[in-house]
């Protein structure tokens, strides 16, 4: 782990690849969005539990968490649950490219929130880099927003971006005192419970959809949560929330490429142009962040 602390950008790359699989895996689930999301988080909590409860130092930290840490983690988990449900549902209405592109507009909301609530500062150059990446996301979304279904999917994806931005900002605050393991365990537990409550409130059956939700949930947990979101939470100690969110803008590029081979979703020239904008914006932003 010492090597990764010296080269945290490697962890950013692993995280991007992990979350890039999310949209692809969700497409294979036959269950409603809330059930698929709940399966993902339940698996995540189960996979983390041995490491959390099996180590004395982690147990000690978990039980010694202050009320502020617990409350903020629970609220963060609720917003993460909202993100998953909204985004998974958006994938039922629009393409992988558009949905993943719009969800990555979280960088805009994180940057605004970071400046307004956490007293962060975004330079003019960094703002321009974010704007370029955002324009790329808009171009990709516009490329296939030709129907009401697509527009609904786009709106859901945008709402999920706002939800995950709140999750990121709260995480930045909690991670000042809590370790990655304790913070993510609290957040994922709260998220899983929130999703189960949502399923009950909506009178949605948790079973009866075959084995696909279970398998998809496990794969999402392993690759997209533990090797995606958890890594990004760890990286919050080394990078600003705005940079983490900017790096996530690579997700639609990875997802779109996978969708070509798995679902024959061939990107249009506009989608390719949008991807180039995103890559350019993220690369420029990373250079600016590194220079500071």
SS3 state of residue 246: helix
- Tens of pLDDT along the chain (292 residues)? 566 666 677 888 888 888 888 889 998 888 999 999 999 999 999 999 998 998 889 889 888 888 888 899 999 999 999 999 999 999 888 888 788 878 877 777 887 787 777 677 778 888 888 888 888 878 877 776 666 777 788 889 989 999 998 998 888 778 778 887 888 899 999 999 999 999 999 998 888 898 988 999 999 998 887 788 778 878 877 887 767 767 777 777 888 888 888 888 787 788 788 878 877 887 787 677 666 6
Is 23 a member of any domain? yes
Distance CA 180, CA 184 (A): 6
Instruction: Indicate if the alpha-carbon torsion angle 127, 129, 89, 93 is positive or negative.
Output: positive
The residues, any chain, with a CB within 8 Å of residue 96's CB and separated by 6 or more, are 23, 24, 27, 252, 255, 256, 258, 259, 263, 265
Is 251 a member of any domain? yes
Instruction: Indicate if the alpha-carbon torsion angle 142, 30, 263, 275 is positive or negative.
Output: positive
Is 29 a member of any domain? yes
Closest CA to 80 of 180, 177, 218, 186: 186
Is 50 a member of any domain? yes
Is 2 a member of any domain? no
Give the number of other Cβ atoms within 10 Å of residue 281's Cβ: 23
DSSP secondary structure letter of residue 221: I
Residue 142: per-residue pLDDT: 78
Is 3 a member of any domain? no
**How far, rounded to the nearest angstrom, does the alpha carbon of residue 263 sit from its chain's CA centroid?**
22
The residues, any chain, with a CB within 8 Å of residue 277's CB and separated by 6 or more, are 132, 133, 135, 136, 137, 139
**How far, rounded to the nearest angstrom, does the alpha carbon of residue 53 sit from its chain's CA centroid?**
26
Indicate left, alpha or beta for 62 from its phi (over 0: left) and psi (-120 to 50: alpha). Answer: alpha
Structure tokens at 75: 């609220």
Give the number of other Cβ atoms within 10 Å of residue 63's Cβ: 8
Instruction: Indicate if the alpha-carbon torsion angle 146, 84, 224, 133 is positive or negative.
Output: positive
Whether the Cβ atoms of residue 277 and residue 139 lie closer than 8 Å to each other: yes
Is 89 a member of any domain? yes
Is 192 a member of any domain? yes
SS3 state of residue 173: helix
Closest CA to 162 of 126, 97, 108, 224: 108
- Residue 209 is part of which domain span? 19-291
Domain count, the chain: 1
Closest CA to 107 of 237, 225, 292, 251: 251
Residue 12: per-residue pLDDT: 84
């Amino acid at each position: 782990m010492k090597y990764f602390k010296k080269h945290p950008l490697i962890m950013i790359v692993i995280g991007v690849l992990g979350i890039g699989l999310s949209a692809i895996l969700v497409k294979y689930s036959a269950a409603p969005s809330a059930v698929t999301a709940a399966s993902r988080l339940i698996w995540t909590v189960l996979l983390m539990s041995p490491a959390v409860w099996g180590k004395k130092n982690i147990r000690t930290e978990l039980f010694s968490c202050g009320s502020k840490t617990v409350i903020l983690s629970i609220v963060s988990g609720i917003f993460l649950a909202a993100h998953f449900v909204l985004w998974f549902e958006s994938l039922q209405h629009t393409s992988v490219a558009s949905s993943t592109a719009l969800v990555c507009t979280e960088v805009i909301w994180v940057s605004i929130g970071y400046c307004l609530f956490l007293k962060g500062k975004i330079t003019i150059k960094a703002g321009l880099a974010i704007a370029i990446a955002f324009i790329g996301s808009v171009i990709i979304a516009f490329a296939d927003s030709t129907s009401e279904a697509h527009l609904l999917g786009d709106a859901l994806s945008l709402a999920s971006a706002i939800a995950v931005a709140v999750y990121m900002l709260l995480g930045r605050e909690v991670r000042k005192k809590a370790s990655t393991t304790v913070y993510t365990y609290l957040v994922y537990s709260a998220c899983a419970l929130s999703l189960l409550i949502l399923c009950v409130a909506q009178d949605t059956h948790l079973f009866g959809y075959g084995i696909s939700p279970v398998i998809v949930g496990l794969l999402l947990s392993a690759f997209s949560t533990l090797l995606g979101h958890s890594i990004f939470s760890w990286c919050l100690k080394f990078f600003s929330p705005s940079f983490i969110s900017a790096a996530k803008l690579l997700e639609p590029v990875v997802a779109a490429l996978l969708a070509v081979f798995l679902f024959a979703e061939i990107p249009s020239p506009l989608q390719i142009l949008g991807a180039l904008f995103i890559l350019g914006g993220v690369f420029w932003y990373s250079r600016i962040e590194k220079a500071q």
